[in-house]
Amino acid sequence: MCDEQEILETLSSRIKEAREGTASKETGRKMSQEEVAAALGKDRNTVSRWEDPLNEKSVPDVKDIIKMCELFGCDSGYFFGEYEGRTRIATDIQAEIGLSEAAIENLSSVNLRNDAMWQMDYLNYFFEDDDFNYFISVLTDYIDTLQTNPDKVVADRIGSASRQTIKAADMLLYTLQSSFGDIVKRVRNRHKADMRQGKEDYRYYYRALLDIYLGGIACVDSNKHEKIVSLAREEYNEMQKKLHLCTTNEQREAVIYGEAYEIVGARRKQFEGGEI
């Protein structure tokens, strides 16, 4: 069982680790103690003391830890060493299939983005394809060949009198490209088959609706951008609710290209008139 000193040391090291592993919105580099302090409503010295494993007098309280979870995108258990990844789910996935935490975060971000809702279907089709494992195997052979024996050649007889030597890496690259192209074709055909079967996908309409709102936002001064995005998101959510009540594609199109355009037009007039 961990003693108090060990818990405090883990907490301080994880706070520093999380801060240095989080990109600053201002600089794109790792967050500074000043930025973390500002986000938490503290001073820099407080954050510095939290990161000091020898300092036992200053530790974050529960509210501070909750705020840091939101700031760094992690679970509270991460700070106390319950698991290595920032979240328990990411740690479990890493242990089960071996994906890195960064890879898991990238896949999660695709699933959460409003403009990429149906892209998860394409990813599923790709991973479910019978040739996916073969594609990964060829990719591995190609990279290994480049690293260990890039000049290795194979002989390929052309006709009856000529002979041409081709690098093994080039043959593997051709196979890799061909395999990927075949998988993409099957992904596309599978999607077409779903559409032919009458699969109604609300998400395409949500994307069209989002594009309309983004078009309305684009014409506005940047200093009002945050407030406008908030308003647009509220209206977007309201339109989503209305789309769910529609039973046909014609009704959905009427909502998007009728009602949504009217809302955006009214918003633009408010923006231009200085009402917002």
CA distances from 112 to 73, 80, 108, 109, 120 (A): 14, 27, 6, 5, 10
Highest mean pLDDT among 78-87, 131-140, 243-252: 131-140
Give the pLDDT confidence score for residue 114 in this predicted structure. 45
The stretch 27-55 carries a mean pLDDT of: 89
Rounded CA gap, 263 and 197, in Å?
Answer: 34
- The interaxial angle of helices 119-128 and 101-112, nearest 10 deg, is 130
Give the pLDDT confidence score for residue 184 in this predicted structure. 92
- Amino acid letter, 196: R
Give the pLDDT confidence score for residue 237 in this predicted structure. 72
The stretch 17-30 carries a mean pLDDT of: 80
Q: Which residue has the higher pLDDT, 164 or 65?
A: 65
Give the pLDDT confidence score for residue 152 in this predicted structure. 85
Give the pLDDT confidence score for residue 160 in this predicted structure. 47
> Encoding tokens for residue 171?
């043959």
219 exposed, middle or buried (CB, 10 Å; 0-12, 13-18, 19+)?
A: exposed
List residues bridging with 30 in a β-sheet. 23
The stretch 197-218 carries a mean pLDDT of: 54
Give the pLDDT confidence score for residue 198 in this predicted structure. 46
Is residue 49 over pLDDT 70?
Answer: yes
Four-point Cα dihedral 194, 197, 203, 204, nearest 10: 90
The stretch 84-92 carries a mean pLDDT of: 87
Is residue 187 over pLDDT 60?
Answer: yes
Highest mean pLDDT among 39-43, 92-96, 270-274: 39-43
Main-chain dihedrals φ then ψ at residue 98, nearest 5 degrees: 85, 5
Give the pLDDT confidence score for residue 107 in this predicted structure. 80
